Chain A
Amino acid sequence: MTTCKNCSFYFAVPENAGDFEAGKGDCVIEKEDAKGKYWLSKPTRNDSPSCKAFKTA
């Protein structure tokens, strides 16, 4: 099973961050609609099962 850890949209939370927890990361994805481009960041964990947006680097 692929997990968030292997996804290019997964960015581990740095150890010096206030919300750091082992295995915690940000899922950052790019979206675009008729009004323009935007990015969303969602908290996730590296062992979470991958979603439809999964992409390897």
Chain B
Amino acid sequence: MSTVAASIKYNDKVVDFPLANQEENAIADEVLHENLARPTTERTKRLKARCRWKHAAAGEFVDAEVRAGIERMRFITEAHKASAGQPEVIRRALGLANILNKSTLVLQQDEFIIGYHAEDPEMFPLYPELAYMAVQDYLMSDYSPQPKEEAAEINEYWKKYSMQAKGERYFTQEELLQMYQVSTMEAPGFATGYNSISPPYETVLQDGLLKRIEMAHEKIEHAKREMQKIPWDATTGLDWIAKIDVWKAMIIADEAVINWARRHARLAKIVAENFETNPARKEELLEIAEISHRVPAEPCKGLKDAFQAKWYTYLICHAIDRYASGYAQKEDEMLEPYYNISVKEKSFQPMTHTDVVEMVEMERLKISEHGAGKSRAYREIFPGSNDLFILTIGGTKPGYVDACSDMTDAILEGARNIRTTEPSIVFRWHPVGREKTKRLVFECIRDGLGYPSIKHDVIGTEQLKYYSQFSKNNNGATDDEAHYWGLVLCMSPGVCGRRKTHKTRSEGGGSIFPAKMMEIVLADGFDWSYSGMQLGPHTGDPTTFKTFEQLWEAFRSQYAYATSKVIRAKDIMRYYESKFLQMPFVSSIDDGCMELGIDSMELSEQPNGWHNPITTVVAANSLVAIKKLIYDEKKYTMAQLVTALRANWHGYEDMRQDFLNAPKWGNDDEYADTIIKKFYEDIIGGEMAKITNYSGGPVLPVGQAVGLYMEIGSRTGPTPDGRFGGDAGDDGGISPYMGTDKKGPTAVLKSVSKVQKNQKANLLNQRLSVPIMRSVHGFTIWKSYMDAWEKLNIDHVQFNCVSTAEMKAAQKEPEKHQDLIVRVSGFSARFVDIPTYGQNTIIARNEQAFGADDLEYLNTQL
């Protein structure tokens, strides 16, 4: 039997909570999520049943068949050797062209959106030109590309040319070792190859690549004419050389992409005419062939074209030319014109709304099969998922007009029906957003998907306007363009569209870890619990700190040191990206790069300066406990604390209980919140804002934990908040530490809303009561919560809606709970694919119910 929430007295009446769907009364709590999937068609049901997930758990692939392919690394190496002496940007284009021309194509049974990025559907590509350490890890694993000897030889070849070799030169060995510990600082991108991008999909859909090629040709002709002018002026004339090379590289790349897509068209036609026996599928394959011949070469004419062109673009930008995590796009607005053509006007590729939902489900399953050749550390920090894939919907158009559409609804319906862990969805919340769509958002959350996560539409839009003022070429996002944004990865907003999008993670992204910094502040910068090395500056023996302010300043020094170092690493990476890792295809589809003849790795028009502090709340709660127990009440000395911490609290349990019971973040506690608000605004945001990054703007915090709260927790010794060494960190950017938000959901909102300065991009994780959310009042209560959240000017919130009973049942019998999805932090994961350590952190989160006091504060009308 399903649990029903207890009645409460509210507004002088008794409120009962019967389930909205009475049939669920017969479903036990332990198996609820196994009863919620409803694929829209038999085809998507089959596709899901055979989905080739590439989930990782503790860094290992869950499916034993998954492995690295060799084709990409073979073909890019072959091209690199053959193109020696040519301009670097041309070499990059030739590298992409060689991969696309020679790679094996994959077409799977039942699929309508086609295209894959490796030579077998169980494989994923590797990127030796980025980081040889990441490839070396694969060579030592069961997933090694074959033949292994060839792969090893390729990796050896790239060592001297790789981004890793180039970036490492500008750091001392000590600095590199500090970063490679991944305990106060994330390892630099040049050593991990981790990346993110928001491709300008819109030019592909609207123009088609043939037009982009024509534009590049015209630019080259114009440049040549300028160079031929008499009298010759070298001060401007020589600038055309690099531009001509960039435009030439665009042409090479785009022609290769067209040929590659048309090879897919040939494959579909060959299979239709030579292998397929089902007449209906044969006809469909011929339609697929027609689509892949048309797009991305030509503009999209209908919705099927748009889905396919978008997919090919995604594969190039995120997996073939270079690895990049994410699925950044404003999908509903991008596809809405094609939805209108195909569904409303029925003038091309006519279909029903239900057909669109099926397309959405098929796209989600394509993403679910997408494998990422990322390094071990990054496989470890996204447990239970393939990678980070996040698309954005909802929000507003210029003038704060509702941007929700029937396409938005189709995306949400498809997500709710098919139930896949990826891609995650972000919904931009604004009061003008239509209720019909918000109800679908609710249904996804209520069904436990963990997405959409919610971002504050006005805050995000205003942030883009703020960053625009720092544009290096005075061409940042206009006020209108600032409305067209999506999240680049879990949390950081970036412009979408034809121009000014985020092109590489060296601008925005990357992490630092305050919990570990807190630990080393109490050891003069030395990491006694994990690496055994000096991780930061000598900030003094803490037992000599006479005042809390001395401790505060010591932390500031550690934080400033780490922050500047990781941003420097990113900017050095960016320097080399613009010299040796150009992306001519991305450049060709960006209007700015096309106009200016500047590669996408060099051009920065709209700054994106976000950087990610993870485990801030462990550090913040620690500062609160120290201030209260050592400096205010003087119950303990700093020496006693240091001694207890070095013993991992063993033998000091009474003392640990005092520190554990000190005021904690998320309870609307004035003592704790005053210190923590200042911590966020003065240090976490304040120190970051002093840094200027490649794009010319300040760096601001975008705290979101992904699975790093587990990874870093395991590398962080005991902390003064009462936490044992090795326990997980806090699971958001501004979320209360698991289990410590004891005053209900509105107390959490009140605490979080106190942080307002230079920080409005912090992740808030909340776990809501399943019986209340599934009751007849679920939507009303949640909607009033969201309206309050919006008015409190909080940037983000995301929800788990899954019972402890079901998670514990899944721990006992994982094979029976394949459809149980949970929100980790910034991404959703299949619960049974998360290591037990991580599963327990989700179970430990407080399940927030709504009492009469909460409902009164939210002004809920029941």
Residues of A within 8 A of B (CB): 11, 13-14, 17-19, 26, 28, 30, 33, 35-43
**Contact partners of B353 in chain A: CB under 8 A:** none
Q: In the complex, what residue of chain A is closest to B261 when comparing beta carbons?
A: A18
Interface string of B228-263 (1 = CB under 8 A from A): 000000000000000000000000000100110011
Contact of A18 among B105, B259, B271 (CB under 8 A): B259
Q: Is B109 an interface residue (CB 8 A)?
A: yes
A33 to B101, CA, bound (A): 26
Contact B259 A39 (CB under 8 A): no
A19 to B102, CA, bound (A): 11
Q: Is B508 an interface residue (CB 8 A)?
A: no
Contact A40 B109 (CB under 8 A): no
Q: In the complex, what residue of chain A is closest to B71 when comparing beta carbons?
A: A42
Q: Is B106 an interface residue (CB 8 A)?
A: yes
Q: Is B121 an interface residue (CB 8 A)?
A: yes
A53 to B52, CA, bound (A): 25
Nearest CB of chain B from residue A13's CB, rounded to whole Å: 8
Contact A41 B270 (CB under 8 A): yes
**Of A17, A19, A33, most B-chain CB atoms within 10 Å:** A19
Nearest CB of chain A from residue B434's CB, rounded to whole Å: 39
Nearest CB of chain A from residue B52's CB, rounded to whole Å: 6
Contact A43 B101 (CB under 8 A): yes
Contact B101 A19 (CB under 8 A): yes
Contact A38 B266 (CB under 8 A): no
Contact of A38 among B107, B258, B274 (CB under 8 A): B107
Query: What is the predominant secondary structure among interface residues of chain A facing chain B?
Result: strand
Contact of B105 among A13, A30, A37, A41 (CB under 8 A): A41
Contact A26 B266 (CB under 8 A): yes
23 contacts between A and B (CB under 8 A): A11-B266, A11-B270, A18-B258, A19-B101, A19-B262, A26-B263, A26-B267, A28-B270, A28-B271, A28-B275, A35-B52, A36-B110, A37-B108, A37-B109, A39-B106, A39-B108, A39-B275, A40-B104, A40-B107, A40-B120, A41-B104, A41-B105, A41-B270
Q: In the complex, what residue of chain B is closest to A38 when comparing beta carbons?
A: B108
Q: Is B119 an interface residue (CB 8 A)?
A: yes
Residues of B within 8 A of A (CB): 50-52, 65, 101-102, 104-110, 119-122, 255, 258-259, 262-263, 266-267, 270-271, 274-275
Nearest CB of chain A from residue B176's CB, rounded to whole Å: 41
Q: In the complex, what residue of chain A is closest to B275 when comparing beta carbons?
A: A30
**Contact partners of B259 in chain A: CB under 8 A:** 17-19
**Contact partners of B274 in chain A: CB under 8 A:** 11, 28
Contact B106 A40 (CB under 8 A): yes
A14 to B708, CA, bound (A): 51
A13 to B51, CA, bound (A): 32
**Contact partners of B263 in chain A: CB under 8 A:** 19, 26, 41, 43
Nearest CB of chain B from residue A31's CB, rounded to whole Å: 8
Contact of A26 among B109, B255, B270 (CB under 8 A): B270
**Contact partners of A19 in chain B: CB under 8 A:** 101, 259, 262-263
Nearest CB of chain A from residue B259's CB, rounded to whole Å: 4
Contact B50 A39 (CB under 8 A): no
Contact of A40 among B51, B101, B105, B110 (CB under 8 A): B105
Nearest CB of chain B from residue A15's CB, rounded to whole Å: 13
Contact A38 B270 (CB under 8 A): no
A11 to B275, CA, bound (A): 13
**Contact partners of B106 in chain A: CB under 8 A:** 38-40
**Contact partners of B119 in chain A: CB under 8 A:** 40
**Contact partners of B121 in chain A: CB under 8 A:** 35, 38
Nearest CB of chain B from residue A50's CB, rounded to whole Å: 18
Contact B271 A17 (CB under 8 A): no
**Contact partners of A26 in chain B: CB under 8 A:** 263, 266-267, 270
**Contact partners of B104 in chain A: CB under 8 A:** 40-42
**Contact partners of A36 in chain B: CB under 8 A:** 50, 108-110
Q: In the complex, what residue of chain B is closest to A40 when comparing beta carbons?
A: B104
**Contact partners of A43 in chain B: CB under 8 A:** 101-102, 263
Q: In the complex, what residue of chain B is closest to A27 when comparing beta carbons?
A: B104
**Contact partners of A35 in chain B: CB under 8 A:** 50-52, 121
**Contact partners of A30 in chain B: CB under 8 A:** 275
**Contact partners of B110 in chain A: CB under 8 A:** 36
A36 to B259, CA, bound (A): 27
Q: In the complex, what residue of chain B is closest to A17 when comparing beta carbons?
A: B262
Nearest CB of chain A from residue B570's CB, rounded to whole Å: 38
A35 to B51, CA, bound (A): 7
Q: In the complex, what residue of chain B is closest to A9 when comparing beta carbons?
A: B274
Q: In the complex, what residue of chain B is closest to A35 when comparing beta carbons?
A: B50
Contact of B109 among A13, A38, A41 (CB under 8 A): A38
Contact A41 B107 (CB under 8 A): yes
A28 to B51, CA, bound (A): 23
Nearest CB of chain B from residue A24's CB, rounded to whole Å: 10
Nearest CB of chain A from residue B251's CB, rounded to whole Å: 13
Q: In the complex, what residue of chain B is closest to A30 when comparing beta carbons?
A: B275
Of all A-B residue pairs in the complex, the 7 with the closest CB atoms, nearest first, are: A18-B259, A41-B267, A41-B105, A37-B109, A38-B108, A35-B50, A19-B259
Sample of 11 further A-B pairs with CB below 8 A, known A11-B274, A41-B270? A17-B262, A19-B101, A26-B267, A26-B270, A28-B271, A33-B65, A36-B50, A36-B110, A38-B109, A40-B119, A43-B102
Contact B105 A17 (CB under 8 A): no
A54 to B122, CA, bound (A): 24
Contact B107 A18 (CB under 8 A): no
**Contact partners of A14 in chain B: CB under 8 A:** 266
**Of A11, A13, A33, A35, most B-chain CB atoms within 10 Å:** A35
A17 to B508, CA, bound (A): 41
